[in-house]
Amino acid sequence: MVVKQPVEKELEELRAELKWTQGELEARRNAERQWQLQEAESTRQREIQAEKLFNEWKEKELVNLYGEIDKLKKFLWDEVKSVANQTSMLEEVPDLKGFSKLFC
């Protein structure tokens, strides 16, 4: 019986150590899980912010693009009106051939 007591005591110490080690591992797993959740949330927030910034930039650029298109349309319309005016003025000249002889 004397021999069993030290073995049983040793087993009891090993069980206690194992239980402590399991508790430490569980705590580390929980800490790792918590860190992963925080990282995932942080990544999600950065993605949301990046998407928001991109959409704001895109909206601003579209407004600029539409402004440039409107300017170009106005410029082209003014050119069409100018050419139309020049054409109508040339049609009003009675004898264009005689007019050109003056300069030749």
Q: What average pLDDT does this structure show over 70-86?
A: 92
Rounded to a whole number of angstroms, the CA Rg of the chain reads 44
Instruction: Give the tens place of pLDDT for each residue, 20-64.
Output: 999 999 999 999 999 999 999 999 999 999 999 999 999 999 999
What is the pTM for the complete model shown?
A: 0.53
Residue 36: CA count within 13 A, CB half-sphere: 6
Which residue matches tokens 């999600």? Answer: 44
Distance CA 28, CA 33 (A): 8
- Distances in Å between the Cα of 16 and the Cα atoms of 29, 42, 94 are 20, 39, 118
The b-or-e profile of 19-29 (16+ CB within 10 A means b, else e) is eeeeeeeeeee
Band (1; pLDDT cuts 50, 70, 90): very low
